[in-house]
Amino acid sequence: MLTATVPRRTTRSAPLLKLEVLVALVALAPRIGFVLISEGGYRGTFAYDPSVYYAASDALLHGRLPYRDFVLLHPPGIMFALAPFAWVGTMIGDHGGFMIAQVAFTVLAAVNAALVARVAARFGFGNGAAMVAGLCYALWPGATEAEYASRLEPLGNFAMLCGLLAYSASERSTRRRWSVLCGIGFSTAFCVKVWWLIPLVLVLAWHLPAQRRARLPLVAAGAALPILLIDGPFFLASPVAMIRMVFTDQLGRSRQGRLLPRLAEFSGGGDRLRGLGDMQAAWVVLAVALVLVLICRAAVRVPHGPPLVALLLIQLALIAWAPSYFPYYNDYAAPALALTLAAAVHGRRVRPVVRRVFAIPVLMLGIGALVAADLALPRPVIFAYPARELMRSVAHSRCVMSDSPMALVELNVLSRDLANGCPNWVDVTGRTYSVDKPFRDGSGHWVARTYDPRWQRDLRRYLLSGDTLTLFRPYYTGVGAELRFILAGQVVLARSGNFTVFRTSPLRPWHRPPTRLAPRGAR
């Protein structure tokens, strides 16, 4: 009698739960391992963008609004996600809160891998295909390269996967809440990065046919909630600036990278493929396209396969044609790729005997190949930062200025500066896409930041507005000759390696650079 009372669903879900735990643990290995084997580890200098998002959350906690008080080139969803860690940072130190945030996003990435497996199983692809999907997400270099830090992609993927899970439940249940939750999930992803507008539109369009049309108002109502609650307050505070930064400035960026190398990098080769010529990249793209065609052809024949294939192809097109591009953008398409692969595996049914004999060896070879690709990839190194050597020099400073919030986090002065009312642009180089947009010279070419007189003037005034200054990424910031000349005359408080802390003083009228500010032809 006891066995008869055990729900059938529970007995089926037990192997799936073990599979999800396995997939999550596998996903943690390359993401945490990459940080630990880097030069700086979790105390090192992470990428620029994660520090910007953390600083934006900290600025919000101190009463400063994005779009109105500082530049934020994305919707505000990432700020809310990082706000608890920024709050912890105000108590235990900025770098402590920042490190906890990086570990938390790595765990979130592992949860994403488990969610991919669960969605694949809920779509009816079977536990074997679910494991393939989960391991694909866990080990595909396009995902692991993005998900060791607090970037937009793992958070957006999490929201979209929750929406997909709710969609799969709405297909089997008459309860209205699942349709509402489906809309909430996809819309929340859109509130993290505008690129997720495409999946949101796609899921709404998927509910247009007659068999799903009754649920369309519920999905649309759920989609409206995050937009009103997350984006609404900031839109009311500064509507024009928000639209300009989130949409116009993103679309108006100058194009970075060529099309073929971008598509070649989607194979997971990362920086190794960035220097390929057009012919070599074309062969890589052809091979990847052939594999994708075979996968999509098998996936489109199974239930739930067509929307996944459509989602994957549209996301790939966006990655290929977007104005800006970085290799970690590929993580945007990771869930769709993994789930399409699961649908293809489910569509290609094989005999049980063949499956028993070859499934484990093929799976082990696939995992081994992905792990080898992960280990062989050259990635941005997390460098060590001499925080101990420099921290004493800023202990009594009221306002420490820098061209990157990463330096302020490392020195544990970010929250202190914000509490003191110090100026903080948050995203310094982001201003060149919004407030201080570059202009063209007489030949019609964009003027680089280093030679842009307006950018140099605004940057100089900002960086010299405090009582101490440390530069973190002067090349990418575009620090020009005049600012370098001025810093040469400032008092050096501390120096360690490539990093220096200056005591800044009011500018004197005789501070003029000995070299030209702009190249010939610039205005």
- Give the whole-angstrom CA distance, residue 224 versus residue 239: 17
Tokens, residue 505: 């003083």
User: Which amino acid does the sequence have at 288?
Assistant: V
- Give the whole-angstrom CA distance, residue 240 versus residue 131: 46
User: Which amino acid does the sequence have at 317?
Assistant: A
Query: What residues contact residue 314 under an 8 Å CB cut-off, 6+ apart?
Result: 198, 202
Q: Tens-digit pLDDT profile for the chain (523 aa)?
A: 333 333 444 445 667 788 889 899 999 988 998 888 888 888 889 889 999 999 999 999 999 999 999 999 999 999 999 999 999 999 999 999 999 999 999 999 999 999 999 999 999 988 888 988 999 899 888 898 889 999 999 999 999 999 999 999 998 888 889 999 999 999 999 999 999 999 999 999 999 998 889 999 999 999 999 999 999 999 999 999 999 999 888 776 766 666 666 666 666 555 555 555 566 667 767 877 888 888 888 888 888 889 999 999 999 888 888 888 888 888 999 999 999 999 998 876 544 444 444 455 655 666 666 666 665 565 667 889 999 999 999 999 999 999 999 999 999 999 999 999 999 999 999 888 877 666 555 554 567 788 888 899 999 999 999 999 999 999 889 999 889 999 988 899 999 988 999 998 755 443 444 444 344 344 3
Per-residue pLDDT, 443: 54
Q: Which helix or strand (DSSP H or E) is residue 503 part of?
A: strand 499-503
CB 423 within 8 A of CB 62: no
Count of Cβ atoms closer than 10 Å to residue 401 Cβ: 26
Q: Which helix or strand (DSSP H or E) is residue 161 part of?
A: helix 152-172
Tokens, residue 253: 């960026």
Per-residue pLDDT, 280: 66
Q: What is the DSSP string of 330-359?
A: GGGGHHHHHHHHHHHHHHS---HHHHHHHH
492: helix, strand or coil:
strand
Count of Cβ atoms closer than 10 Å to residue 206 Cβ: 16
Question: Residue 108's closest CA among 54, 154, 51, 46?
Answer: 154
Tokens, residue 521: 């032809």
Per-residue pLDDT, 6: 37
Per-residue pLDDT, 258: 62
153 alpha-carbon distance from chain centroid: 4
Task: For residue 65, give the DSSP letter.
Answer: P
CB 100 within 8 A of CB 116: no
Contacts of residues 252-255 at CB distance under 8 Å and 24 or more positions apart, as own/partner, are: 252/323, 252/433, 252/437, 253/323, 253/324, 253/433, 254/323, 254/446, 255/323, 255/324
- Give the whole-angstrom CA distance, residue 18 versus residue 360: 17
* Cα first-last separation, the chain: 87
What string of H, E and C letters represents the secondary structure of 201-265?
HHHHHHCCCCCCHHHHHHHHHHHHHHHHHHHHHHHHHCHHHHHHHHHHHHHCCCCCCCHHHHHHH
Write down the pTM of the prediction.
0.88
- Give the whole-angstrom CA distance, residue 292 versus residue 295: 5
Query: What residues contact residue 241 under an 8 Å CB cut-off, 6+ apart?
Result: 67, 68
Beta strand pairing status for 468-470 and 400-402?
A: parallel
CB 521 within 8 A of CB 446: no
- Give the whole-angstrom CA distance, residue 414 versus residue 70: 15
* Beta strands in 274-325, from DSSP E residues, in sequence order: none
465: helix, strand or coil:
coil
Count of Cβ atoms closer than 10 Å to residue 162 Cβ: 20
Burial of 351 (0-12, 13-18, 19+ CB in 10 A): exposed
CA-based angle 114:119:124, to the nearest 5? 130
- Give the whole-angstrom CA distance, residue 167 versus residue 199: 13
What phi, psi does 470 have (nearest 5°)? -140, 130
User: Which amino acid does the sequence have at 342?
Assistant: A
For the packed helices 94-122 and 127-139, what is the interaxial angle rounded to 10 degrees? Answer: 150
